[in-house]
Amino acid sequence: MSLDHLGDVPLYQQLANILREQIESGEIPPRRPVPSKKTLVQTYDVAPGTVERALAILKSEGLLKTVMGRGLYVVPEDERRPRGRSSA
């Protein structure tokens, strides 16, 4: 899947949507790392900041977590926090 560089939807949101689909479909399985930022920059021809914003969205949704010294990993579905609720 590719990004629409001329479309109305921001690139970071498009990238977040693509990665979310890959996670939810199992293409990127639970407990596995997501591709590196460098790989995502090269694959989708975007700036590093675009990748960082997309990954931040997925982290805020509870789909990804940082494992110190190892990278970003997919959180298994049964360990994800429910969407739409804040932990106030």
d(C-alpha 52, C-alpha 86), whole Å:
22
Query: What is the pLDDT, as a whole number, of residue 87?
Result: 47
Query: What is the pLDDT, as a whole number, of residue 83?
Result: 58
Q: Is-above-0.75 flag for pTM?
A: yes
**Chunked mean pLDDT (size 10), the chain, 88 residues:** 92 98 96 96 97 97 94 91 54
Counting runs of H as helices and runs of E as strands, what totals does the chain give? 3, 2
Ordered domains of the chain (ranges, CATH): 11-76 (1.10.10.10)
Residue with tokens 């700036």: 47
Query: What is the pLDDT, as a whole number, of residue 82?
Result: 65
3-state secondary structure of 72: strand
CA distances from 84 to 8, 28, 37, 60, 61 (A): 25, 23, 27, 11, 9
d(C-alpha 47, C-alpha 63), whole Å:
22
